[in-house]
């Protein structure tokens, strides 16, 4: 599986994100799996009353399932990426309160692309030429201007479109409405780490 041939989503198709006021999030796109598959792979127990950090919401989407976490980053943790992508393709976009962002694409348990959507470096990919084409088409590799210190303002919209291109899964505005996704669970088990440390993030060439 690869970015090309799955979808030709455009940045404009995710323009609705510009109306969002949620700074911290992690959205995961998982190809071909049902929400029940997602919970089972992660060893999570559905709990409709679960709320607050670290809660994930899971539901069906075109092409597979989406997993949404507000205020967390579970979708880019190494073990979550490994477990969710086994035998399939997944992509996650995460942004924290300081607007530090991450994009991860994994296939069959292995991370094949890892980049910062605000300033993507296309060589961090197992298939750099193909990823570069998508980044260019989505406007994520603008011409460098030494007199312009601004960044590409639609970087989240572009990253969402890139995730769809990688997986064939489409996140829709309706998925982010309160109560829209039918499954809720605590993903706290993946945040467990030795005291004073944070769980390892996925990274390109993870085995």
pLDDT tens per residue, range 132-161: 999 999 999 876 555 555 556 899 999 999
Task: Copy the structure tokens of residue 5.
Answer: 């041939």
More confident residue, 183 or 21: 183
pLDDT at 177: 94
Q: How many angstroms separate the CA atoms of 108 and 116, rounded?
A: 22
More confident residue, 71 or 1: 71
pLDDT at 123: 80
Pairing state between β 183-186 and 64-70: unpaired
pLDDT at 23: 85
pLDDT at 200: 94
The b-or-e profile of 152-162 (16+ CB within 10 A means b, else e) is: bebbbbbbbbb
- Other residues' Cβ atoms within 10 Å of the Cβ of residue 188: 14
Q: How many angstroms separate the CA atoms of 61 and 138, rounded?
A: 22
pLDDT at 147: 55
The b-or-e profile of 63-95 (16+ CB within 10 A means b, else e) is: bbbbbbbbebbbbbbbbbbbbbbeebbbbbbbb
Average pLDDT, the chain: 90
Provide the 3-class DSSP secondary structure of residue 61.
strand
Confidence of residue 5 (pLDDT cuts 50, 70, 90): very low
List alpha helices for the chain, DSSP H: 35-42, 78-85, 128-137, 155-167
Is residue 182 scored above 90 in pLDDT?
yes
Q: How many angstroms separate the CA atoms of 113 and 17, rounded?
A: 23
């Amino acid at each position: 599986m690869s970015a090309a041939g799955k979808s030709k989503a455009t940045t404009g198709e995710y323009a609705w994100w510009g109306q969002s006021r949620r700074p911290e999030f992690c959205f995961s796109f998982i190809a071909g799996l049902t929400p029940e598959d997602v919970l089972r792979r992660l060893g999570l127990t559905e709990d409709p009353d679960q709320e607050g950090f670290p809660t994930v919401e899971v539901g069906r989407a075109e092409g597979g399932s989406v997993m949404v976490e507000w205020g967390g980053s579970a979708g880019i943790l190494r073990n979550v990426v490994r477990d969710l992508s086994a035998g399939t393709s997944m992509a996650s976009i995460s942004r924290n309160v300081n607007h530090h962002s991450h994009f991860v694409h994994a296939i069959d348990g292995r991370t094949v692309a890892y980049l910062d959507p605000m300033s993507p470096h296309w060589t961090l990919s197992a298939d750099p030429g193909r990823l570069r084409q998508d980044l260019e088409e989505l406007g994520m590799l603008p011409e460098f201007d030494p007199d312009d210190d601004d960044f590409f303002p639609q970087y989240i919209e572009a990253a969402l479109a890139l995730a769809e291109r990688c997986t064939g899964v489409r996140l829709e505005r309706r998925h982010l409405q309160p109560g829209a996704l039918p499954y809720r669970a605590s993903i706290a088990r993946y945040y467990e780490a030795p005291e004073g440390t944070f769980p390892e993030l996925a990274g390109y060439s993870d085995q």
